[in-house]
Structure 1
Amino acid sequence: MNNHHSTRGLVSLRTLSVPRSSVQGMKFSANREDLLEGLLQVQNVVSTRTTLPILGNVLIETTEAGIQLTTTDLEVGMQCFVPATIQDPGATTLPVKRLTSIVRELAEEQVEFETDERCVSTITCSGSVFRIVGLSDEDFPPLPPLGSGQQFKIPQRRLREILKQTSYAISTDENRYVLNGLLFHIQSDKLTVVATDGRRLALAEHEIQWSGEELTKVILPAKAVHELERVLGSEGDVEVFVMAPEIAFDLDGTLLISKLIEGQFPNFQQVVPSDSSVRVTINRMELLQALRRVSLLLNDRNLSVNMTFTRDRMRIETNSPEIGEAKDEIPVRCDADELKVSFNPIYLMDPLRQLDVDDVTLEISDYTSPGVLRTNSMNFLYVLMPMRYRAAEDE
């Protein structure tokens, strides 16, 4: 991370509602690395399939301490601050992908930037000179202002961990649009984040101090989730503002604002089994590696593996007449003499890849009931529906 980041603070929040300058002429100079890092932060929001040219551009505005970069696709908006020396204040918009490519290839550290009244910007760096035609900043759709919404803080590292532990279970079925995002279930002292696609459910929790008095439930779209995962760091807090129909995340001078998915998320509490008769403790990496090995013999017609648990062993196997069979055994601690169940190994490997623990616990009642994967910390769980146990193929 660049050491300029520590000076960014909450500049984006403070300047978001400042009226945009109508002056087209603008002149500033900035460090190439700072400018490139800022452009890389915001460029992913821009869609390559947009029909409105202005949505392919980045809005560049001067502030007292530097410049502010903003992009949006009308659903998700990203804004970040870049330190710069301002000679003439102003604003313009330029194609963000092209501008990023130019700045990436510049040879020297100091970049001079000047825009005229016709929205033509001249970029000078050492012996390199580029002139790019832009569009008026007045045509750029403004991000919604941060109002008096309720808010909470959470460490960036922890929120990034929560997103990694849940986002893989977001549904990609557009017919079930309320499942195309993450549920933020916010209570006075706890944030619960949930994703489900109908076949599995991932849940992670964290204690917070919520400024609101009532239970709040909002759904963050998948694109915003992925952008947030990308920009979250390992230090400092992120401040979350819930101002339906939008939500905003402010972190270290970068602001992400997203529209929320409208609709009712399923009652996740009803999905989690209240009691399971068998508990199996397994080393996470041993289970993940065994599943990887057995999965090498899966095909589109057979996407399940059989699991047989005894007191101290677990056997994983698959059998396909077209391909062959695979078996693997690993040590476990199980409180039943024998139990058989079948799961989709891809769905079972997803949470194992994202967890950072030594052991996991799998709770099962029988081969027809959902399995529940937990960690010792009790702030994560994963519910997975079983598949038909292919008993005939065991013989």
Structure 2
Amino acid sequence: MKVICNKDKLCDAVTNVSRAVSSKSTILALEGILLQAKGDSLSLTGYDLELGITTTIDAKVESEGEIILSARLLSDMIRRMPYEVIEISSDEKLLTQIVSGAAEYTILGLDPQEFPELPTVSGEPLLEMEAGALKSMIDQTLFAVAVSDAKPVHKGSLFDIKESVLTVVSVDGYRLALRREPVKVGEDVSFVVPGKTLSEVSKLLGDPEKQISLTISKKHIIFHIEGYFVISRLLEGEFLDYKAAIPADQTTEILISTRAFIDSIERISLLISDKLRSPLKVSFLDEVIKSSCSTTIGKAHDEIACKKTGDDVDMGFNSKYLLDALRACSSDEVLLQVNGPLSPMKVVPKESDGFLFLVLPVRLKSE
């Protein structure tokens, strides 16, 4: 194999494809990138048996072929090359030269036959949507994906398509994040995408107006993103019935400034840490929210203005979970809806149903 290509394009491709490369594996090929030179292009593939990313860049191919090279080494070498043109060549013994000007590396590659075959997903795309819409849906729900193995299906986000509306839902046992967008799709379908996959997809989503598409099979999904193909397994299992988990009624509704409430909680949370855990006490009163906490190093108190209808209520929260929900809000003002001190609190937009965050309260000592 012998191929000549642009340094910047190759560097971007290697960086992005490396997101699917295993950092440590008993299969050495999974720590590498598969390079395939054919026609007038060079394709690069990373795959860790759960997530695969592949892309193709323009190149001058003087001799077709393929090789597996260490992702870490390849990335470091290319980034440090002095010129904009890079030449990669390998022989029958897998000895590979990477050259740019006077700079030259010689490393031993791996047999391309050792690289596992990516799953195939055939058929027409299930849906197309703007990259910006998908990115906001992922970013506003990813924080609530479970990290424990208690229920593996909750380590991903549910994509629930019904009546031309896509709902993305994440839950972890302490909170729920939901985001809705209208989409053009002919069939109703539900599937769960691993959180790790969605995190990498979000990083690849660039121009918000670009169209991206999703193709799914029974066990896998492919995201088509601006020259990249991201293929991932889907998670199996029964996802939480999120509609049943969302309280239908509320006895108290509070309109707040999102930024003001975030700032207030951040001020109070200076006394809270992993070692000094304490619930955040929040009192929803007429025209004011009083927040406080008490730990072994001291006490904190703060107040912000609000507009409340309904009953006064005192609630306890994990400050991190409450902050995560508020930071994910995409509007300047939000409504907080509660149905008593021990019922989950809903955080919703003032005038739409585009997102919903559910935060479970914690018991205060007085209760």
If the length of structure 2 is used for normalisation, what is the TM-score? 0.95
**What CA distance in whole angstroms lies between the structure 2 residues aligned with 1:248 and 1:67?**
21
Aligned match for 1:120, one of 85, 90, 95: 95
Runs of 4+ in 1 over 4 A off after TM superposition: none
**What CA distance in whole angstroms lies between the structure 1 residues aligned with 2:227 and 2:318?**
42
Aligned match for 1:251, one of 205, 214, 225: 225
Aligned to 1:179: 154
Aligned to 1:11: none
If the length of structure 1 is used for normalisation, what is the TM-score? 0.89
Aligned match for 1:41, one of 16, 38, 52: 16
**What CA distance in whole angstroms lies between the structure 1 residues aligned with 2:156 and 2:181?**
19
Does 2:275 align with 1:265?
A: no
The Cα offsets for residues 29-76 of structure 1, whole Å up to 9 and x where unpaired, read as 111000000000011211222110011110111243411100100010
The Cα offsets for residues 272-305 of structure 1, whole Å up to 9 and x where unpaired, read as 1111121111111111111011011124464311
- Residue pair 1:304, 1:318 contacting (<8 A) in 2 also: yes
**What CA distance in whole angstroms lies between the structure 2 residues aligned with 1:219 and 1:337?**
38
Report how far residue 210 of structure 1 moved.
1.8
Identity score, percent: 27
Moved more, 61-70 or 287-296: 61-70
**What CA distance in whole angstroms lies between the structure 1 residues aligned with 2:165 and 2:40?**
37
**What CA distance in whole angstroms lies between the structure 2 residues aligned with 1:82 and 1:29?**
11
Aligned to 1:87: 62
Aligned to 2:191: 218
Map 1:91-106 → 2, pairs under 5 A = 91-106=66-81
Report how far residue 150 of structure 1 moved.
5.3
Report how far residue 149 of structure 1 moved.
5.8
**What CA distance in whole angstroms lies between the structure 1 residues aligned with 2:312 and 2:118?**
58
SS across alignment from 1:391: coil
Letter in structure 2 aligned against 1:179: H
- Residue pair 1:188, 1:209 contacting (<8 A) in 2 also: no
Moved more, 37-46 or 296-305: 296-305
Aligned to 1:71: 46
- Residue pair 1:310, 1:336 contacting (<8 A) in 2 also: no
Map 1:184-195 → 2, pairs under 5 A = 184-195=159-170
The Cα offsets for residues 180-210 of structure 1, whole Å up to 9 and x where unpaired, read as 1111112240111111011110000111112
Aligned match for 1:374, one of 321, 338, 348: 348
**What CA distance in whole angstroms lies between the structure 2 residues aligned with 1:227 and 1:216?**
23
Letter in structure 2 aligned against 1:124: V
**What CA distance in whole angstroms lies between the structure 1 residues aligned with 2:246 and 2:160?**
15
Does 2:347 align with 1:364?
A: no
**Unpaired segments of 5 or more residues in structure 1?**
1-25
When the two chains are superposed, the root-mean-square deviation of aligned CA atoms in Å is 1.5
The Cα offsets for residues 140-179 of structure 1, whole Å up to 9 and x where unpaired, read as 1121223126510121111111111101111111121111
SS across alignment from 2:151: helix
SS across alignment from 1:118: coil
